[in-house]
Structure 1
Amino acid sequence: MFRWGDDPDCASTDVQLLQLLRPELDRPDHDLHTYLLVEALDASGDKSSAVAALQNHWELSGATPLVTLAVGDRLFRRGAYRQALRMYRRLFEAELRGIRSHGQVVLDAATAAARSGQQELAEQLLERAAQHADTHERASERLAALPGRTTVRPPPLAGGHTTDDPAPADRRSDAGALPPLRAPLPSLPQSQSADEERLLDALRAGSFEAGEALVERLSPHGIERSGEILQVRRHQAALRAGDLEVLANLRRAAQDDHALSYARAVDHVIAAFDADRTPISPPALADVPAQPHANARLLLGPIEGTINEALAIVCRAGLFRRDLTSYNLTGTDRVPAGNATVASQLYAQLTRLIDLGGVRLFRRSRQRDRFTFGVALLSPLAAIISGRAFANTPALRYHLGCALCAATAPFALLEALDERDARDVVAALRSGFGRVGDGSVAQASAKQIRLAEDMWHLVSASDDRRLREIANDPDQMHYTLAQRHAARARYRAGLFAAGDIITAMTLLVEDVGVDIPRPLRSPVALHRLTEIPEAADLLSFALSPEYAQARWLST
């Protein structure tokens, strides 16, 4: 590692070495190279060349993680704390090559939030920093020093898309009780004047025109406020879902903010529903940077505190575990990762990109009918695919993504058991671990009581406590809610694997069983999709910066 300290001459020597190295580096290393070069230029006293190097990289390669970090640090040192905070928040899950830990980035963001007067956000970020081992002590000390604080609360649940609060429902029937899963509106920037605050309030209240007025006010500031324009355009796109002209404005805002992968993801959706345009292909899975843990949280979550977390605990306890013969499988049916077959290569690529908890893959190779998948409650859990898998098509990738997602612990029981048995498991969790005296035990059948007793014997003491914490919220303990979480995760994993919004929407519509105007590549069909809750959620996900960062970055 370079160590310049207060020696400009040493830093100047390293600048020369770094400049010589550049032609020898592969593209994935350019981000690290630019960061080190800029730091060396700063240490040598050549501030103007450092800024020029940052601008050149930003224009050519976009907001890569380490360059974003360098820009954030410079904004922080200039006292532009709000802009620095925006840069730091982009990096919470980014690959920083050991330059700075995620905990330290969150702590830096908390400092920027506090210095910009956003005390509530600063407290939330300190709570998040306290969950990282390297920043736990410092964040805890700062939390304890806050007025009225003596302990550290757990951080809020992660995840860019959440569910609406479920309405109270009768425990014996889910019919009509729970609202569909929907993504919340994107966040909006902080105002810097009374007029901006008035327009932001109007935009929050649903005024599309207020967003146009805001963009007009922010545009003269150029790159300094381009990120805020992008936030406004995202909010407008959510207000007028499926409007191609609004999406075109969103794409331009992303380009102006140098969010190039996000601009490509948005343009992919625009081109998909405009028959006059050539479809835009996503990066091949083999070219997508691996972020397995972050991708799993993005695609499968949020799971913490939900009925699906409870089902995952029961699944891992082995109550319903089977062996290969139960599914008429043998060891030769297993698909190894990475051999010569298409299914094997895709399996290797998806397990590289998504932390699936060790899910295995089996294929009934003798069957040549329509592609289907199921889940085997083996140890480890496994997906079973059947049907044709000869070509690497978006449809095959979609099905395989869905299959592997369905076989993860939070969703496996829902896919592997028939509906009656799965409902019994949820009822057993409710009666065995829920609130005492709420009537769930009296309503439980003998089978459900036996299942609850089996769970008491099988789960560990810590899992028992966790199940009781989850079941203490009766609004969570519903089969339909669990299914909706599972379906949403399947659709997202399918889209991630396929990379193609038209393929994902076509197969989602078939799964949901609704009619859509044909051809699907039309604004009319796009508008109809926004009226279907599952499709609207997937469209919102496809237009999110988090998805673009995960799927549209390429090495």
Structure 2
Amino acid sequence: MKSFAPRDDRSREALAVRRMQAHLRLGDRGALERLQAAAIADKNMTYARAIEHVLRAFEGDEPSDRRGDGAVLPPLLAAQRDAPELVSALLFRDLESPVNEALALVWETGLYRRDAGQSGLVASERVQPTSPTVLGELYGAVAGHLGLLRTALFHQRAPSPAPPSPEGQVIRVNPPAVLLRGEIREDSPELRYLLGAHLAGAMPDYVLVNTSAEDELRTLLSAIVAAFGPLEATAHSTRGNPAVVRLEQNLWQLIPPRAERRLREICDSASKMTYEAAVKTTRTAMRRAGLFAAGNLATAVRATLKERGLELAVPLSQPEGLAAACAAHPEIADLVRLATRMEYAEARWQPGTVPSLRRVDTGSSRFRAGT
């Protein structure tokens, strides 16, 4: 009997250990360098390249989402596996949230849906995924890989003065749509991030969060608990709020029996049905989809810093900057955790055209949605 495992087995085991260490010490440069070395030893060059991107994402004063000597640019999204089911599982499976599921069930009733005319959308502004334009080609690639081609995209060129960069908005129509405003002359990581994030934000679980004012969403959540939660929660949530009572009555009439049973299970504890939980899950899903669409960690992190108004104690360009940001801000840690997963590398960092997993799924791929 041999005393040692074959070299391939040892390198694979070493890679597994380095992956665990890197995920326990998110953003730590030493852990990332050892992970990259282990990936190279295992001949997993796709994963090694993805980790190199994380290592060099913030080198120098200029963002590495611009081509330059320090940049490790992600491969084209069009070169990646055509596997939206697996990509969706990778990005969203661990985000299953009772409150967002409840909002999706309410969305399906049609209570909040409007047609395009009511929302001010014009058919001539709709972008086709087959359009030979920068935005059309980008929309086709991003929506196709996310499995969200049913989500319509509209583009309005903003009147003068135009915003300095395109802006996105989720529109409450049936099915939900995304509206981009502003001039779009060229592809960019920021545009890809914006589009990916808002396409995810139009998913049924998240559309009401993105199209409701805070008071409106809080009222809806109270009405859901009042209609389908325990009696003590009902008495508390309806007390002195006529809007909740009216909405509660509408929900009783519109929710079908199967959805009603599920809502009663979800609402067994009012603590699950919070505004804060709904917003947190929604924003996390959007950031992850934006990262996948852009393929660029620097773009996703900077967009998150701007969105949340975060200040970093240590600059990201410093060797310890990314680790410090991960330790201080869970939003940054979540992006780095995703960017350093082997499954993410296999989904987003393939160097060239590969077969479609939707057409041929032999079960032999190492691309899995689990951690």
- TM-score tier, shorter chain, comes to 0.7 to 0.9
| Structure 2 residue corresponding to 1:244, chosen from 9, 21, 29 | 29
Kindly indicate whether residue 343 of structure 2 is the aligned counterpart of residue 546 of structure 1. Answer: yes
Q: Quick one: which of 342, 345, 349 aligns to 2:141?
A: 349
CA shift at 1:392, angstroms? 0.6
- Partner amino acid for 2:212? L
Q: How far does residue 517 in structure 1 lie from its aligned partner after superposition?
A: 5.9
Aligned match of 1:54: none
In structure 2, the partner of 1:326 is 118
Confirm whether residue 437 of structure 1 aligns to residue 249 of structure 2.
no
Query: For the Cα contact (< 8 Å) 2:119–2:173, is it kept in 1?
Result: no
Distance 2:343 2:242 in 1: 46
Deviation at 1:524, TM superposition (A): 4.0
2:220 to 399, 407, 425: 425
Q: Does 1:487 align with 2:272?
A: no
Preserved contact between residue 134 and residue 185 of structure 2 (Cα < 8 Å)? yes
- Any idea what the Cα deviations from partners look like across 1:248-269, whole Å, max 9, x if unmatched? 1011112222333222211110
- Residues 440, 225 of structure 1: alpha-carbon distance in 2 compared, 3 angstrom cutoff: farther
1:12-51 alignment to 2 at 5 Å? none
TM-score norm. by structure 1 comes to 0.58
For 2:314 and 2:180, the matched residues in 1 are separated by 29
Q: Deviations over 1:502-532 (max 9, x none)?
A: 1111111000101136864332431332121
Name which of 491, 509, 521 aligns with 2:317.
521
Separation of aligned partners in 2, 1:356 and 1:296:
10
Q: 4+ runs of 1 displaced by more than 6 Å?
A: none
Aligned-partner Cα distance in 2 for 1:303–1:238: 18
Q: Which of these residues, 299, 303, 316, is aligned with residue 503 of structure 1?
A: 299
Instruction: Tell me the equivalent position of 2:254.
Output: 458
Equivalent residue letter for 1:535: I
- What SS does the corresponding residue of 2:82 show, helix, strand or coil? coil
**In structure 2, the residue corresponding to 1:534 is in which secondary structure?**
helix
Q: Take 2:169 and 2:82, find their aligned partners in 1: how far apart are those partners?
A: 26
Q: Secondary structure at the match of 2:94?
A: coil
Deviations 1:95-142 (A, max 9, x none): xxxxxxxxxxxxxxxxxxxxxxxxxxxxxxxxxxxxxxxxxxxxxxxx
Query: What TM-score, normalized to structure 2?
Result: 0.85
Match of 2:166 in 1: 371
Shift of residue 409, structure 1, vs aligned partner: 0.8
Q: How does 1:206-225 map to 2 (within 5 A)?
A: 221-225=6-10
Gap change, CA 1:441 and 1:364, over 3 Å in 2: farther
Amino acid at match of 1:510: K
What is the rounded CA distance, in whole Å, between the counterparts of 1:252 and 1:540 in structure 2? 18
1:535 has 2:332 as partner: yes
Deviation at 1:366, TM superposition (A): 3.6
In structure 2, the partner of 1:256 is 41
1:471 aligns with 2:246: no
Other structure's SS at 1:362 match: strand
**Partner Cα distance (1:391, 1:524) in 2:** 34
**2-structure distance, mates of 1:313, 1:543:** 33
For residue 232 of structure 2, give the secondary structure of its aligned residue in structure 1: coil
1:465 alignment partner AA: R
1:47-77 CA-partner distances (Å, limit 9, x unpaired):
xxxxxxxxxxxxxxxxxxxxxxxxxxxxxxx
Secondary structure at 1:268 match in 2: helix
Report the equivalent of 1:339. Answer: 131
SS at match of 2:117: helix
Alpha-carbon contact 1:516-1:529 (below 8 Å) kept: yes
More helix per residue: 1
CA distance in 1, matches of 2:12, 2:256: 47
Distance 1:395 1:414 in 2: 23
Which protein is bigger by CA-based radius of gyration? Answer: 1
Q: Which amino acid aligns with 1:428?
A: A
The within-5 A match list for 1:8-407 is 221-275=6-60, 278-302=70-94, 304=96, 306-356=98-148, 358-367=150-159, 368-369=162-163, 370-407=165-202
Q: Deviations over 1:122-175 (max 9, x none)?
A: xxxxxxxxxxxxxxxxxxxxxxxxxxxxxxxxxxxxxxxxxxxxxxxxxxxxxx
Question: Deviations for 1:205-230, whole angstroms, at most 9, x for unmatched residues?
Answer: xxxxxxxxxxxx99x75211322222
User: Alpha-carbon deviation of 1:357?
Assistant: 6.8
C-alpha RMSD over aligned residues: 2.1
Aligned partners of 1:538 and 1:475: how far apart in 2?
Answer: 27
Q: 1:392, 1:245 → 2: CA distance?
A: 34
Change (3 A) 1:491 1:239: same
Mapped partners of 1:261, 1:514: distance in 2: 32
| Contact 1:300–1:405 (8 Å) recurs in 2 | no
Single out whichever of 476-485 and 513-522 deviates more from structure 2.
Answer: 513-522
Counterpart contact for 1:357–1:408, Cα < 8 Å:
no
What letter corresponds to residue 336 of structure 2 in structure 1? Answer: L
CA–CA separation in structure 1 for the residues paired with 2:234 and 2:92: 29
Q: Secondary structure at the match of 1:409?
A: coil
Shift of 1:446: 1.9
Aligned residues: 337
What CA distance in whole angstroms lies between the structure 2 residues aligned with 1:408 and 1:355?
A: 11
Check whether the contact 1:361–1:384 (CA below 8 A) recurs between aligned residues.
yes
Change (3 A) 1:529 1:519: closer
| Aligned partner letter, 2:172 | L
Which amino acid in the other structure matches residue 70 of structure 2?
T
| Stretch of structure 1 that moved more, 475-484 or 436-445 | 436-445
Whole-angstrom CA distance in 2 between matches of 1:305 and 1:371: 30
| Residue 347 of structure 1: how far off its partner (Å) | 0.8
- Specify the code of the residue in structure 1 equivalent to 2:290: G
CA displacement at 1:464 relative to structure 2: 1.4
Cα gap change, 1:542/1:498 in structure 2, threshold over 3 Å: closer, same or farther?
same
Match of 2:360?
A: none
1:448 has 2:240 as partner: no
CA distance in 1, matches of 2:189, 2:149: 24
Structure 1: which 5+ residue stretches go unaligned? Answer: 1-216
User: Is residue 204 of structure 2 the alignment partner of residue 412 of structure 1?
Assistant: no
